[in-house]
Amino acid sequence: MNAVASQLRVDAGGVTFVTTHWSVVLTAQGHSAAADEALEKLCRTYWWPPYGFVRRNGCNPEEAQDLTQGFFAMLLERRDLDVVRREKGRLRSYLLVSLKNFLGKTRHRGAL
């Protein structure tokens, strides 16, 4: 089992988020090699739950992969994770709301 797979939990509804490692999130908010490494780790760690959410919402595997990749690309391009703070709430809640908004806008543009 690889490191990412060992960090995932599976329940009846699919893959769920694990406990947030805030030190990694905070490191990812910088502009350095360490920040880039932390961003990569976050994307690898948190890729499966959004993918599962997209699949459960009716997309086939290829569409779900494309949408999940597009979602993470948008987060990285806009540096959305720079505003995430532990005291503001859970990272998983932020990601889920962001993903729902992303999917809604994608549907509105007719890309879904």
Tally of domains within the chain: 1
pLDDT at 16: 65
Which of the pair, 47 or 15, is modelled with greater confidence? 47
pLDDT at 7: 40
Q: What is the pLDDT of residues 51-97, one digit of tens each?
A: 999 999 999 999 999 999 999 999 999 999 888 888 888 888 899 99
pLDDT at 97: 95
How many CB atoms lie under 10 A from the CB of residue 24? 15
**103, 54 Cβ separation under 8 angstroms:** yes
Which of the pair, 86 or 10, is modelled with greater confidence? 86
Range of the domain at 71: 3-108
Half-sphere exposure of 72 (CA within 13 A, CB side): 19
